[in-house]
Structure 1
Amino acid sequence: MEMSGDVCYENVNFTSDSGKDTGLKKEKDTDLDKKEACLHSYVDRKPKELQQKNAKPSKVTEPTTPDPGPGPEPGPASSCGGPKRDISRAVAVCLALLCVLHLAALTALGILNNQFKENERDQLQSKYNNVTQERDRLQISYTNVTRQRDQLQTSYTNVTRQRDQLQTSYTNVTSERDQLQTSYTNVTRERDQLQTSYSNVTRERELLQTINTNLTRERDQLNTSNTILTRERDQLNTSYTILTRERDDLKNKLCNVTSCSASWEKFGCSCYYVSTVQKNWADSRQDCKDKGVDLVIINNRKEQDFLNNLKKKMWIGLSDTVTEGNFTWVDGTPLTTPTYWFSPPAQPDNNLYNADMVDEDCAEIYYTSPRLLDILPPNTWNDNRCDLTSNFWVCERGI
């Protein structure tokens, strides 16, 4: 919609707004262009309106036909006075005046517009300079703040690292402190225990000192007694040697003059009964006990050779019925040396090669005739089943 010159001129604000800072020169120039266009529109339209307003009464009052009246009367068209020619001249003069006024108005408006533009430009330039300076200050401040921020960031990183290091150090120190506290507690406890032990040891030392004094006295007494007893022991050893020799001599004489009962065979200082029937080991031993003796106990190589010369498979008084592998004689004496186990294979083997796996706990002198095994005397001992094997047996009675 097109705006009239008056309305445009009234709506345009020619004064500068110093309270508002747009910061943009381009926007101010746009407002000036709009204001200038509005002024030109107003200047162009105003003379036309005035011309139409002056021309309208002449068209209304101008007569179309001559009036045959007694004489002409002045009509409303003669606003400037005089006849029609004067009216035209007056109109021309008015138009000329209007043109002059128009030119003067245009000139004044141009001057005002230039002054307004210059003032507006100066204000905008001043604001632009202020904004530029403010921008430069802000740029410097931004640079300084950025630098300070970077420094603070570096400081923050360093402080964080130092804090972490201190935290680690604090943790280590706390751990060491706890360990030292524990060690201190343990050392204190040990110290108290040692103090108690020291007191006890001191008490015991005093007691031992007293005991040592007493024992020293007793030792001296015992040394005296020992000297006396040693002298007596030596005398007794001499007497024992003499008595032992005399006993052996008497025993040899007794063995020589003593004979064995019927069905008993003499060897050395013992009498041996060799059975004529065969029984298991327990029954064989019981027969010897019924005779007041026990199965034979072999003490030396001569006795072993004597039994081997009997050429019989016989039970002897040796078994491991109490503890497997620990052979003992019938008088409870453990088997040490000499031993005469048959080898190879190594004996005793506890029936290792039998399928029925029955223990072999009783010892025998092994003999076969004719010999089926290469058994070389004196190693003729063998372990066999006590209750399932029947052998001859030998009873022994000392003289």
Structure 2
Amino acid sequence: MPGGQQQSQTGDTGTTPMQQPQTDWQSIADAAASIPNALYVSRADYTDPGGASGRRALCSFIRSHRSCMAAVIAVLISLAAVGLAPLTFILKEEISQLSTTVDVLKRDQYDISTAFDALKRDQDDMGQLSTAFDALKRDQGGMSTAFDALKRDQDDLSTAFDALKRDQDDMRKLSTALDALKRDQDDMRQLSTTVDALKRDQDDMRQLSTAVDALKRDQDDMRQLSTTVDALKRDQDDMRQLSTTVDALKRDLDKERNRTAALGQRLHEMTSCFIGYTTWRGICYKAFNTKMNFSDAAATCGEDGGTLAMPRDAETNAFLISLYRSVRDNTHFWFGLHDQREEGSFEWVDGSALGTYNSWAPGEPSDSGGKEDCVLYSGWPSRKDKWNDVPCDWTFIGDRRNLTTAVQRHSDQPQ
């Protein structure tokens, strides 16, 4: 029987009953203990993993107090049953305390129910937390995968960073090389300028070398000129000596001329040429206006006591030209020169060599046809009065009617 009901019964009488029927309080307490109560939750009713130890402690506390409560109630009832009046007051005090304890227990039951509801909500939250924890675990797996990927990316980034650092070092080296190349380029420009200057200097050196060569040649010429001047000086000395000699010779020549003039005067007084001859330097000359070959001309001269004329110098040559022109001006005249004995070796009819003087026409002597061995004065306009070799048996026909001959003889015969 509850304590509250017992208190109300005792209060109604206002006295303590001395005799009460015997009540099996132990059975009542056991029956009360067996009634389901929300405060008494078994382990099967609530299986929150996080609050299992708390619930066991709470249930143990309640059960231990239930036994005490039941024992106390049983003791009180027993005392009341035996009619222990003195203990009634104590029992009331105990009942009051028990009622207070029950109130406390009720409040505790309410608090426990409230705590249980909170625990249930916490259990729901824990379920959500478990779901969230599972999600977090999955996220953790994903995060672990992402972390591994990030670690790999970090390794790749570290590798790339190291590569970039190496590239940066290479870029620094490249920048240094580029600066060096720029400096080299500037040096190359300066070198190109220097090379251009050297080329100009080389051209100047070539010109200078040419000038030096010219100067060397001039120096050689100067040496030769100096040698020539020295020779001229020596020649000048010789000329002075020669001039002295020439002056002496001139004086001697003047004396000889005077003597020759005197002798010529005496010779002219003593001798004279045949009629038709002209005297030149003490020799009688005549031009025959008769057609004949070289041998016939020589024979004609011989019959007249002379030979064909021999112009050994320019003065005699000019005299003979004027002589035959006085006879005929448009024909040829034989004179005493030939190479009949040896081709190319011309000699006079007296057997003497040609000497240094000659008056050959251009391209002569030609020995055309290998038969031109005798010489005459040409009457052709292109080579007029010049020496020309022709065949010795040559006589003229057509407009060349006559071939005249020039004869020379000494003027030692009377007229």
The two structures have a TM-score, normalised by structure 1, of 0.34
Larger radius of gyration: 2
Q: Where is the helix percentage greater, Structure 1 or Structure 2?
A: 2
